[in-house]
Amino acid sequence: MKNIYIFSGLGADKRVFKYLDFSNYNATFVDWIVPNKKETIEKYAKRLSQQITTKNPILIGLSFGGIMAVEVGKCIEAEKIIIIASVKTKNELPFYYRFAGFFKFHKLLPTKFMKKANFLSFWLFGISNKEDKKLLTEILKDTDENFLKWAIAIIVNWKNTFVPNNIKHIHGTSDKILPIQFVKSDVKVNNGGHFMTINKHQELNIILNNCIKS
């Protein structure tokens, strides 16, 4: 049985994977840890990798979790890295994110506002039905504000240019947070948005199983 370690999105937890079937694998959800003050992504990834206790695992990361899976993959030997609705390098980040990081505009973001779900967050995540809106509302509410500030700074200032040769990239064609025109994905999910682990889970289950087994 393959060992897989799963990294959730920014501030999220395993709730975003609740419809995905990992029953054929030995699956572990990696818990976010409190970042140290001004901690680099490399040091954070090294501390996070301590939760991985098996050799040559498969790493699966969603959104910010995909970025962390890439960084953790530099710390350990992994059989495969699979990222969903994420980016492999700084060059796949939208230019306006990198622009914000360079000029430190991200420091002006009202993180308290970002923790409250509204019509804009629903639109960005590609959510329309009541149940999905409720789940996102709960996830954002539970997000630690300090972790959110740290992670946003990490994302917009990410310097990685290394693309692992064992990576598979799954991306939705309707992702508004990380638009597909900026990335080079291996598998495209038609009309998939940033919340597609929930509202495109049937298609994703098939894709993920194929990626894990291939």
pLDDT in tens, 3-60: 999 999 876 678 899 999 999 999 999 999 999 988 999 999 999 999 999 999 999 9
Q: In what order do the strands lie in the sheet with 187-189?
A: 26-29, 3-7, 58-62, 80-84, 167-172, 187-189
The number of folded domains in the chain is: 1
Range of lowest pLDDT (61-70, 141-150, 164-173): 141-150
CATH code of the domain covering residue 80? 3.40.50.1820
205 confidence band (pLDDT: 50, 70, 90): very high
Q: Give yes or no for residue 73 having a pLDDT over 90.
A: yes
Q: Give yes or no for residue 172 having a pLDDT over 90.
A: yes
> What is the structure's pLDDT at 11?
66
Q: How far apart (Å, rounded) are the C-alpha atoms in residues 133 and 11?
A: 16
Q: Give yes or no for residue 99 having a pLDDT over 90.
A: no
> What is the structure's pLDDT at 154?
94
Q: Give yes or no for residue 101 having a pLDDT over 90.
A: no
Using CA of residue 60, residue 90, residue 118, residue 202, what is the dihedral sign? Answer: negative
> What is the structure's pLDDT at 192?
95
Note down the domain range covering 13: 3-213
Q: Give yes or no for residue 140 having a pLDDT over 70.
A: yes
Residues of the chain with pLDDT > 90, as a percent, come to 71
Across the chain, mean pLDDT equals: 92
95 confidence band (pLDDT: 50, 70, 90): very high
> What is the structure's pLDDT at 10?
78
Q: How far apart (Å, rounded) are the C-alpha atoms in residues 192 and 206?
A: 14
- Average pLDDT, stretch 166-185? 97
